[in-house]
Amino acid sequence: VDLESLLNLDDIEEVATKQIPNKAWAYYYSASDDLKSKTFNNIVYGQILLRPRIFVDCVNCDTSTSFLGHDVKLPIYVSPAAMARLAHPDGERGIGQACEQFGAMQVISQNASMTPEQIVADAKPGQIFGWQLYVQNEREKSEAMLARIKKLPQIKFICLTLDAPVPGKREHDERSKNVGSNLPVRAAVQEGDSVSTTSTNAKTPAPPRSMGVGQSLFWGTAADLTWQKTLPWLAKHTDLPIVLKGLQTHEDAYLASLHTPQVKAIILSNHGGRALDTAPPGVHTLLEIRKYCPEVFDRIEVWVDGGIKRGTDVVKALCLGARGVGVGRAALFGLGAGGKEGVARVLEILKAETETCMRLLGVDRIDQLGMQHINTRAVERD
């Protein structure tokens, strides 16, 4: 396909849907139960109105910002999402190359289809990554992974995902489990690797046969994490800043903010609607934090993901106080539409739309964005 002819993220998803194996599509597209959280994620930004100002010089427009003190050219990063090679052989490394082109950050999934070493291998100076951890029942496997990550200076933080101690019930994924041939790739850490997160032993019995991709990737993941036990354990095994992913209430955002200096950021996320269905989109949690514990924004960085499809979505999240926004499916569908060039096209579209939005709002720098630029009445009415 001519990537230039794809004008928005829906165009890209449509092309990818036709090009990738059905089972991969079902895994990427799926969300829990009735897909209500996924749907809320997709519509909530549209309910927030923008408040453009006139007579503002916006000849220049600068989208650069920083995450945890590291400079980036975009407030948009790629969220950790498993199994990119299901979409295209360029895989997570291709996503990384596209990110490099746009000065964007990439968070690598624990269940990536390439190893972290492969993904960061051709990183350019200044390019930054995070690595996402699902703590395993067999803690020594997670400890061994953390030791490996320590040797990769490009990886600047550990992103601990907490919204899915068990996977949600993803029916598209489950229905397609017996359809077609076996998937061509498995999580790289699962095979041929010195550290396997899913080798079976007494503690982790073999999974029953036939599960959806999501269910089988979760096999062996710990469900017994707590504030008291897990953060000290993690801090013992990494010196990197910790980013907690999957917070969905102001109470947890506040608790996280009490765990500085190790915890440096939180990601408001309902896992793209793939964990608890009818859990709130990040916008609602941002609004809660503003209302009940705004000091959180001063103590730690607040990032958000879920349903980002337009530059206006990006800008609205930043106006609400987010430092940056993550895209999950968009990067995977970009790969599916055109490999690493497809991911680059996704970032190019989002960057251009974000700049247009900033200019039309009357803003030329990210740090000027604030509540004065939006009207949130429609999402706050209850």
Name the active-site residue from 237, 271, 284, 373: 271
Residue 209 CB-density burial (10 A; 0-12 exposed, 13-18 middle, 19+ buried): exposed
Residue closer to ligand FNR by CB (options 6, 331) is 331
Distance CA 241, CA 67 (A): 11
**Among 131, 183, 166, residue whose Cα is nearest residue 274:** 166
CB of 24 to ligand FNR, least distance (A): 9
**Among 308, 223, 320, residue whose Cα is nearest residue 41:** 308
CB of 29 to ligand FNR, least distance (A): 8
Tokens coding 3: 């990537």
Distance CA 371, CA 355 (A): 18
**Among 31, 334, 20, residue whose Cα is nearest residue 180:** 20
CB of 306 to ligand FNR, least distance (A): 4
Residue closer to ligand FNR by CB (options 327, 363) is 327
Helices (H), the chain: 9-19, 22-29, 36-47, 91-102, 116-120, 139-150, 171-175, 213-218, 227-237, 250-257, 282-292, 296-299, 311-319, 329-361, 377-380
Contact (Cβ atoms closer than 8 angstroms) between residue 91 and residue 342: no
Residue nearest to ligand FNR (CB): 328
163 is catalytic: yes
271 is catalytic: yes
Name the active-site residue from 134, 284, 305, 313: 134
250 is catalytic: no
CB of 85 to ligand FNR, least distance (A): 12
Residue closer to ligand FNR by CB (options 273, 339) is 273
CB of 157 to ligand FNR, least distance (A): 13
Residue closer to ligand FNR by CB (options 29, 297) is 29
Q: What are phi and psi of 172, to 5 degrees?
A: -60, -45
Residue closer to ligand FNR by CB (options 221, 363) is 221
Tokens coding 171: 């029916």
User: Residues interacting with ligand FNR, by CB under 6 A?
Assistant: 27-28, 41, 79-82, 109-111, 132, 161, 245, 269, 271-272, 274, 305-308, 326-330, 332
SS3 assignment, position 33: coil
Which residues are known catalytic residues?
134, 163, 271
